[in-house]
Amino acid sequence: MGNDDHNLLGGLDSLGLGGLDSIDLFADNKVKVPQSHKKPEAPKKEEVKEEDLVFEKSYTCPACSKPFKSLTVRTGKVKAVSQDVDLRWKFKQLDPLKYDVVMCPNCGCAALIGEFPRITGKQAKLIKEKISASFKSQDPPHGKLSYDEALARYKVALANAVVRGVKASEKAFICLKAGWLLRGKAESLTPGTPGYDEEKKKTGAEEDAFLKNALEGFKNARGSESFPMCGMDEHSVDYLIAALSFRFGDYALAEKLISEILMSRVASDRLKEKARDLHEDIRAAR
């Protein structure tokens, strides 16, 4: 599986998708790369109930044609409070990443919220054959999603993306968001509770596995796809690759991309500032 022996798509047996762990994520895209320097933060108290910040949006499934509802974050209700070095936003009231996958509870057709309406008829047929055939229908979620429920949805979306034969960038984006989701999960754990250390370690290893695949996918996409990519311009993608390369020890690539961003006439001042900060981090780590 990719460049890491971590079982990226494991743990889906209860959904009927227990055989996915041998999928090679980027096998049909061709084109590789150790650790977080972010300190864990204390869990925050929720001022507003998460259930009040999401609503049930209606969809019709492109694969099984049945209507279903998917929990969606109400726009304008959540405020970003900070951004990590790899561009993940942190929010005050809830983690919106939990709601970024739309999944049909009947047949397992799933994608990131922006991609779901773009599933083609040909892709729907492939999903029916390769996902729905073994997917065990679920009770639709109500109220809110736990981190583990959200993670399972990301894994199903990733399996769908492989089956649909999408571009490397789309798979990389799912991996990136799943990695960020796991960081949110790790931050939500309460130190001192039973099993905390073990769970934290396991969650961190899973985050690394997803982010390594995200890095591989974006490096792959950078040389073969056009921009904008997943809503990002070329310099933002380069910055993201630099941040992930630094995380996983490829300082040379990170520095090369950073210097290109700093010399660019079109990269935004905000991105250049982030690139300078990252450069400082790399120098301090060397």
Q: How far is the CB of 68 from Zn ion (least distance, A)?
A: 7
Q: How far is the CB of 142 from Zn ion (least distance, A)?
A: 18
Alpha-carbon span 249 to 253, nearest angstrom: 9
**Amino acid at residue number 266:** V
3-state secondary structure of 11: coil
CB 164 within 8 A of CB 129: no
Token representation of residue 126: 């492939």
Nearer to Zn ion, 122 or 286 (CB): 122
Q: How far is the CB of 128 from Zn ion (least distance, A)?
A: 9
Token representation of residue 90: 């942190």
Give residue 233's Cα distance to chain centre: 18
Alpha-carbon span 216 to 4, nearest angstrom: 11
Q: How far is the CB of 70 from Zn ion (least distance, A)?
A: 11
Nearer to Zn ion, 36 or 137 (CB): 137
3-state secondary structure of 209: helix
Token representation of residue 82: 């900070």
Binding region for Zn ion (CB under 5 A): 61, 63-64, 104, 106-107, 109
Nearer to Zn ion, 160 or 245 (CB): 160
3-state secondary structure of 232: strand
Main-chain dihedrals φ then ψ at residue 229, nearest 5 degrees: -125, 120
Total residue count of the chain as it appears in this document: 286
Nearer to Zn ion, 101 or 230 (CB): 101
Nearer to Zn ion, 3 or 137 (CB): 137
Nearer to Zn ion, 130 or 274 (CB): 130
Instruction: Spell out the residues 6+ positions from residue 99 whose beta carbon is closer than 8 angstroms to its own.
Output: 54, 70, 71, 72, 73, 113, 145, 150
Alpha-carbon span 113 to 109, nearest angstrom: 12
Q: How far is the CB of 103 from Zn ion (least distance, A)?
A: 9
Q: How far is the CB of 149 from Zn ion (least distance, A)?
A: 18
